[in-house]
Amino acid sequence: MIPEPDSAPVFLSSAALSAKIRGCLLGGALGDAAAGAAAETQSGSGMSISANTQLALYSLDGLLEAIEWANEGVGADETACVWLAYLRWMRGQGLPLPEAGPSPLPRPIDAEPLLRPEGTGAGDPDVLSALSTGEMGTRQRPLNTGVDTPAALVRSAPFGLLPYVATETVYKLALDAASLTHGHPSARHSAAVFASMVHGLLAPGATLRSAAESALAQARENGVPDFSDRLQELLADDGGTDPAGAGTAGRTPAAEEALAIGLRAALAVEDAATEDTDLSAATAAAIREAAAAGGTSAAVVAGSLLGTRYEALPDTDLEALREGSVIEKLAAGFIASTIAP
């Protein structure tokens, strides 16, 4: 399935794509940390890598493994590679792998100190319950069909970073990967729409609003017009509605609520931006607003989208995620494997 040179849209230059890939990954990690994620594994400057960011990075690593096989002329099931990556993550947290499931071979990411479990907590219980079954959920037979939380949403931006393929491919990759742990339509399609928004921002001249509208069109084509219509109302809003109305204090928002809150926060930056706008400061403010309104998941959405859109991120605690970090290593490997020099 990867790559699709004959059906792919036009994308940015290699340098611009590389910047957007890094911006997306760093923006998501900043959103996670800004929301006060449960994980407490600290880097030298105080930035944490929680289970949310860890699983997003393992999403990227699973996709990267499939690409590496493809580059060697060997076919690989992308979703299976992602599933094995999540099992490797679970093993790295000191949790036993299910007896009925496979024991995946280690990859370099597994040895990264910032992804070790000290102080990070066990991770999302629905994710762990699905992975502990030893069963690989599929789009046709997803796991946890009654769970509509945003745990799959926050790990799905990396699927949108795959260049040179059609958005429909990205949508289905993210849908399949979400189905590994979250089978509710809201959870699965929120993840797929989010990834598709990120992917749309890789096109020359794309705006966040145009990428969002394209992603919602993909949702309609994939048989969920009601879901698409609910999020389309957000895009049509003139800004007079408080995005916090989508959530309720003290509870985890549903996946589509978290997506809506994060998207609104990001769109507010784009709509207000001028040549004089300090985009780093605006991004930091949007992440805080999304976190206050919708918690970690909404902040991850806002950070990922704005990091991809503008690559302008606040410097506070950012150096801990840059040079020599697991994010930089993974980004560099992904860029080298996917983007023509």
Q: Tell how far CA 210 is from the center of its chain.
A: 19
Q: What is the 3-state secondary structure (H, E, C) of the chain?
A: CCCCCCCCCCCCCHHHHHHHHHHHHHHHHHHHHHCCCCCCCECCCCCECCHHHHHHHHHHHHHHHHHHHHHCCCCCCHHHHHHHHHHHHHHHCCCCCCCCCCCCCCCHHHHCHHHCCCCCCCCCHHHHHHHCCCCCCCCCCCCCCCCCCCCCHHHCHHHHHCCCCCHHHHHHHHHHHHHCCCCCHHHHHHHHHHHHHHHHCCCCCCCHHHHHHHHHHHHHHCCCHHHHHHHHHHHHCCCCCCHHHHCCCCCCCCHHHHHHHHHHHHHHHHHHCCCCCCHHHHHHHHHHHHHHHHHHHHHHHHHHHHHHHHCCCCCCCCHHHCCCCHHHHHHHHHHHHHCCC
Please write the tens of the pLDDT for every residue from 206-221.
999 999 999 999 999 9
In a domain, 69, yes or no: yes
The mean predicted confidence, pLDDT, of the chain is 87
For Cα atoms 89, 92, 97, give the angle at the middle one, nearest 5 degrees: 75
Cα–Cα nearest to 68, from 339, 340, 334, 307: 334
Q: How far is CA 255 from CA 77, 185, 283, in A?
A: 26, 10, 22
Mean pLDDT for 268-277 is 95
In a domain, 37, yes or no: yes
Please write the tens of the pLDDT for every residue from 31-87.
998 876 433 433 334 456 789 999 999 999 999 999 999 999 998 999 999 999 999
In a domain, 144, yes or no: no
> And the tokens for 279?
């985009």
Cα–Cα distance, 166 to 306 (Å, whole number): 22
Residue 34: what pLDDT?
81
- What's the burial of 196, exposed, middle or buried (CB within 10 Å: 0-12/13-18/19+)? buried
In a domain, 141, yes or no: no
Residue 236: what pLDDT?
66
Please write the tens of the pLDDT for every residue from 139-181.
999 999 999 999 999 999 999 999 999 999 999 999 999 999 9
Domain holding 326, by residue range, is 14-135+150-233+252-338
Q: How far is CA 215 from CA 53, 219, 221, 232, in A?
A: 23, 6, 10, 10
In a domain, 70, yes or no: yes
What is the torsion angle, in degrees rounded to the nearest 10, for the CA atoms of residue 99, residue 101, residue 102 and residue 103?
-40
Q: Range with the lowest mean pLDDT among 163-177, 246-260, 324-338?
A: 246-260
* Number of domains composing the chain: 1
Cα–Cα nearest to 190, from 260, 268, 293: 260
In a domain, 242, yes or no: no
> And the tokens for 119?
């102080």
- Which CATH number covers residue 62? 1.10.4080.10
Which amino acid does the sequence have at 57? L
Cα–Cα distance, 45 to 303 (Å, whole number): 20
